[in-house]
Structure 1
């Protein structure tokens, strides 16, 4: 949108807000229904001249965050969230289902603006506490939401635009809160909502699975190989049973070495990790040096090669597919390989594994396997439709058929 378009949009929002606070329901034709509904809720509980959001108990908020699966997910993708905030001068926030902020990070300018209105961890941003905003709408409607300028009920954030997307447990589907991106209204861009959705999916992909432990299943099948890496859906590395504390890039480097047991030269590893990015070899050498220390020296040079037995869930899934064990492969598949990775080699491998699994299910749509796959890829209706068609052709009802039809209905909805 051009600057004049945004100015006009802001003028319309202010005119609608003024009409509502001064004359009530005359604003009905001027704003979206969900905004008007939230304004009505807000007006009963919040002053339009609110100066800052109220704060919840700090200790209670910290305790909730420590126990939340969102804390693990945010830790795993924190570098991506921070980079998004800094590059776009946004403030990024993650909430609980009651729209209490649990974690936030802001770019230089937006951080100060956020702090001035208590857009911080522990603050309550439900519309009965802080007035109409995108975080509350996304939580209550369980849908991506945007609130622009004076569509906010409280005037303290009339200079903001916010995009929020709900966060769900990838296994149970339970709503856990929302991911919000906020900046000033004059920096509104159509890509804002898409970015919020991508960031929400990134967090969901990094979520610890509540129904099964991929690392435990991998150890059960392989024994104790020394280094065990789960890379599908969630990233975790354990050496002799102890979790390794690695950043995102170190995990990518270790994954590539684990998947190439014969070793890689410096040039090969650099190309696989960075592709065409202008990153020096010395940067990669520094990452390898950190890894070598974390692995107790069990990483050789020329070529770079791991010196201990290794097992990964990627190899496990592919081996099961080669043996035709589709149900077991789906169980071992936790989701996309390192969601959000910038490594061209890992992106290509992730696509290969995802397509291989999907094609195996299309060829042999076992009901239990399709139901489990539907939890990981809820909008891939073709696999579910193939399974429903196969079951419908069989004599007598199959117990999985109502669940599969329910999955299709949910995807259509």
Structure 2
């Protein structure tokens, strides 16, 4: 998606106290159905609409029990962020040491995994329930930098009465999502919070930069894991006696023998030893090896045919594609861009040219080259699911798209014109 500079909540030169009073008037008007004296920022208005439709109480939010002890440790280990937390803490030390700000790192569901900062500010956060193990998602505590960054999938700064729950109006926070470089999924969010008087327009840019640095560190962690897998797999591939690949649990290829090189394979969400149909290779035998899988295509297996049933599920936080066909069933998690593409193709069964897809995805037909590159990646990853010239699902496939009951929850971080139009009530 197009990268843009994150928007500060309070512009440079703006009087925070005067602006906080204006926001309070805007908040009170909107919550009571009156005409507000000004419009909230788009990202705030979108969040408030989501929460009003969900029935979240602006006075209290929703009470969810914090996790602790072994349960918290399990969440930390499974978050994918434990290996890079020290780097995050060090990078943001300048605005959490000897200041009134605290650092918080949350997982993809909004659970607070780590906190750091001055004791008085942590104690203030405790009184808000902003504690280790607390759920800080939008649907629990309303508009906030952690929950709203996770929903919108972009960096956001929230100031004073931009928070949906009244008890948070004395705070300001800046949060940025952290994406897994292996599959594009959001792993969690980095947040810097403090009293509203500490708001500063540069904080959001710093938090955004640290999130990108964290993704670079995760990319390096992944590279090293592939190197280790490659070392383990080399003698195994040399003795395999035929075409084979060594892949990690996300489908990234570490080593290959006798097969055209490729970067990644689409895998079932639950890999098991034995035979499996992989869309890029057909029927394969999969064997676990340290750090991943040895995959060997079955010789003389029937060429995979077009899928007979395709389901695109956009109802949860992570879009998924499920395919059922004559060679078996498989499910894979979609990147946000691939989810947008499949949503458009599912609503245009006759197909789209690259220029038409560019209009639907970017509102700009001249970005056809970008679309072709993305479709090349998608088709390499998903095999026979999408056909070309024009881009389309196979005409004989049964395609179903599952969308949220509330249209405003459809791919909430997407700015694609086709998705934005589908969110608009008719």
Which has more strand, going by share of residues?
A: 2
TM-score, L = length of structure 2: 0.48
Which has more helix, going by share of residues?
A: 1
